[in-house]
Amino acid sequence: MLRNLSRLGALALSLALAGQASAQTLKIGIVGPLSGPSAVYGTETLEGARFALEAAQASGALGSYKIELIPDDSAGNPGRAAQATARMIASDDVLMVIGGSTSAETQAMIEVTRPAEVFQFSPLAQATNLTQQGNKWFARLSQTADAFAGNAAIWAIERHKAKSVYMLVRNDNYGQSLAEAFGREIEAKGIKVAGRVAYEPAAKDFKPILSTMGQANPDFVAILGLYTDTGLIVKQMGELGIKVPTYANTSPAIPQFIEIAGPASDGAYGALYYFAGSIDTAAGKKFVADWNAKFKRDPSQYEGMGYDTMLVLVEAVKKASAAGKVTRESIRDAFFKIADLPVASGNVSILPNGDVKRPLPFVQLKDGKLKLDFLLDK
């Protein structure tokens, strides 16, 4: 009898200790467009994050912690993104929030996370001013519009010998941010700006401005907008018989761009957040191999960014845990200690102002497939 009680006591003690050692759940909000015209940004980022999280938790990389992702659909609407973020903080008591995808929804979320002192990490938002607000509760994985477009201008000049550039610019904060950086580098290099025209995001008929552009006879065109309007512009360039080397921002990697632009999309250049196969490292190769093993295809740029977002988060959890306890403040501090972390898109460092240092791939769409044109890694 005493022996049985002793065994029961030992069992109870071991169960109690096991309970104490069981994984502590860290709730992480993730906000982005899961529906609507910009859904590709949110759905693919979420898929990549889930893929990385599944592998991290299976490998025990998180130690005594477990991450629970709590997604919400912004539909690309800044107001909805802010509401979702506020709800996650108040009701779900999230440790931090991933998002948004667009710059507008990211800024709306910042208006919630900053006063609440909840760290926010954006996978895709590019507007340069997002990291110029003295906000210690925000960082991002994407390069700024200044870095993205400025480097694109240098690439156009040095790689493709552009002498006369015509800029078609989406008339919103995102497009204008890209245009300022692109135009500044073009002019600094002494290259002629043959024209710069802003178009409204809801525009459908671009032929009048394209006819004017054709008369300027540029040898390079830069379309600084989203894939929806960029696709229409490229399509109508084809209909007008305008054949000029064209930089289409991130659009060439998006299947919907090809559907909208049709055959005219062939030959378009772009700069991507991530391009599968462009990173010749162990981490880069492993991601592509693992993704292909499960999905029988290469990952998209947004799936790659979602994957890397989660790898950075996992590393931050490990750093915060090693320093003591994982809290909203310690996870923030840990993100800013990320330096030369090997992930799918290359080595990543989070800079003191919340910006990032990592490689930037340039691609060309040829015969329906992307090929690497140049990898900028500096």
Under 8 Å between Cβ of 173 and 151: no
At 9 the pLDDT is: 35
Distance CA 110, CA 128 (A): 14
Residue 44: which of 366, 356, 314, 298 has the closest Cα? 298
Q: What is the pLDDT of residues 295-324, one digit of tens each?
A: 999 999 999 999 999 999 999 999 999 999
Scored b (16 or more CB within 10 A) or e, 32-53 reads: bbbeeebbbbbbbbbbbbbbbb
Residue 246: which of 226, 229, 263, 230 has the closest Cα? 230
**Structural domains of the chain, with CATH:** 2-143+281-359 (3.40.50.2300), 146-272 (3.40.50.2300)
At 22 the pLDDT is: 52
At 174 the pLDDT is: 83
**Positions of the chain with pLDDT under 50:** 1-21
At 4 the pLDDT is: 41
CA 191 to chain centroid? 30
Q: What is the pLDDT of residues 128-141, one digit of tens each?
A: 899 999 999 999 99
Could you say which DSSP state residue 90 is in? I
At 266 the pLDDT is: 97
